[in-house]
Amino acid sequence: MINQTAKAVPHKRYEMTDYSKFTDEFQKVSKEGFQGYQAIAAEVTNYWKKVFENGTRALEQLVGAKSVEHAVEVQSQYVKKTYEAHIAEMTKLSEMYVSLAQNAFKPLSR
């Protein structure tokens, strides 16, 4: 036998302004997200351009090295600078992604 004394859960009525606010927030977040991805893409493009330029410069220095010791020194400096630049860039990109995600979820936390 089915228990017919259970109470119905009241419905929350949503006004049209609630949907309008949601739509406005969604459009705002979408625009900000798109701009955030554009900024990240520009940052990555600039980074890889610098990597290519620095690699080309290091190769030119290696080719012009007068001794093995000088070539090893050039290569060591290049590796050290490249590693430091890579870590700095990845830190910057991760901060950009975190900011993008936080901005995307702002409307949900209100």
Q: Does residue 13 belong to any structural domain of this protein?
A: no
pLDDT at 82: 97
Rounded to the nearest 10°, the torsion over CA 77, 79, 82, 88 is: -100
pLDDT at 106: 76
Mean pLDDT, the chain, integer: 85
Q: Does residue 11 belong to any structural domain of this protein?
A: no
**pTM score, whole prediction:** 0.69
Cα–Cα distance, 32 to 107 (Å, whole number): 12
Q: How far is CA 91 from CA 39, 53, 62, in A?
A: 15, 21, 30
Q: Does residue 26 belong to any structural domain of this protein?
A: no
Q: Is the pLDDT of residue 42 over 60?
A: yes
- Count of the separate structural domains present in the chain: 1
Q: Does residue 57 belong to any structural domain of this protein?
A: yes
Q: Is the dihedral of CA 13, 18, 20, 25 positive or negative?
A: negative
- Parent domain of 47: 38-109
Q: Does residue 3 belong to any structural domain of this protein?
A: no
Q: Is the pLDDT of residue 35 over 70?
A: yes
pLDDT confidence bin for 69, thresholds 50/70/90: very high
pLDDT at 43: 96
Q: Does residue 73 belong to any structural domain of this protein?
A: yes
Q: Does residue 14 belong to any structural domain of this protein?
A: no
Q: Does residue 68 belong to any structural domain of this protein?
A: yes
pLDDT confidence bin for 9, thresholds 50/70/90: low
